[in-house]
Amino acid sequence: MIRAVFFDFVGTLITKAGENITHQNIVREVLRRAGRSDLDPIKIWAEYEEESSKLFRELAGKPYVKIRDVDTEAMKKVADRYGFTVPEDFWGISIEMHAKYGELFPDARETIKALKDLGLHVGIVTDSDNDYIGAHLKALGIYDLFDSITTSEDAGFYKPHPKPFQLALERAGVKPEEALYVGDNPSKDCVGAKNVGMVSVLLDPDASKQSLWGNCDFVVSKLLDVLDIVKGLNEDL
């Protein structure tokens, strides 16, 4: 019996396209404050993404360090390359732009509400700093829809470490096999959830991760399909 559904955040509830626009606007604001209109924001953004991905790849499954520090370090690496300064309140700019440009998947709200109508616990398990995820969910107007929000900051480790998943299960008061985890990253989300005994669902709208589908119990192309999976699993009992 499935009693809880947990979601990853970036790429699962909010779109990667919106996240890219957000990050491009962070870079634009950083360059504006540095007075560097000579630099191409898209080029700087691409380099920032590369530095940031490199740092986060190394942190997968490792003990939590503040994401604000990792993101700021990535920006500083690029800034040093071009000789500009990263503003003191870089993180404030980041939170502000995420609130402004973050974009929910069109069926996210409907899916969450439908799952709650079935009487399920609906939560988030995310590699995030607490202040970031709280502000972001409030800006999207969906903060109050969730029964629990579990971050790497709460758990002390990044996915796919078992700790964030186990803490979420504890908070919901459900056994692993009673919980579904929905994410867009086969290695971090599917593997992490399955390792603690949860049922894993991959959101892969354009089927671009087909070579890694084997890591996941289910693959869906849109969030609303999660409803059918839950109903199917609960009907079989």
Binding footprint of Ca ion on the chain (CB under 5 A):
8, 10-11, 184
- Asked if 102 and 15 count as a contact pair (C-beta separation under 8 A), the reply is no
Closest alpha carbon to 30 in 90, 114, 119: 90
Which is closer to Ca ion, CB of 16 or CB of 32?
Answer: 16
Which is closer to Ca ion, CB of 128 or CB of 166?
Answer: 128
Can you read off the two tokens belonging to residue 77? 């690496």
Task: Tell the smallest beta-carbon distance from residue 62 to Ca ion (Å).
Answer: 17
Widest Cα–Cα separation across the chain: 64
HSE, side-chain direction, 13 A CA sphere, residue 163 = 16
Task: Tell the smallest beta-carbon distance from residue 188 to Ca ion (Å).
Answer: 7
Task: Tell the smallest beta-carbon distance from residue 12 to Ca ion (Å).
Answer: 5
Measured distance CA(227)–CA(4) in Å, rounded: 12
Which is closer to Ca ion, CB of 154 or CB of 184?
Answer: 184
Task: Tell the smallest beta-carbon distance from residue 66 to Ca ion (Å).
Answer: 18
Which is closer to Ca ion, CB of 86 or CB of 226?
Answer: 226
Closest alpha carbon to 203 in 194, 193, 189: 189
Which is closer to Ca ion, CB of 11 or CB of 123?
Answer: 11
Measured distance CA(237)–CA(233) in Å, rounded: 7
Which is closer to Ca ion, CB of 162 or CB of 192?
Answer: 192
- Give SS3 for 159: coil
Task: Tell the smallest beta-carbon distance from residue 159 to Ca ion (Å).
Answer: 9
User: Residue 23: exposed, middle, or buried by beta-carbon count in 10 A (0-12, 13-18, 19+)?
Assistant: buried
Task: Tell the smallest beta-carbon distance from residue 203 to Ca ion (Å).
Answer: 9
For 208, other C-beta atoms within 10 Å of its C-beta total 8
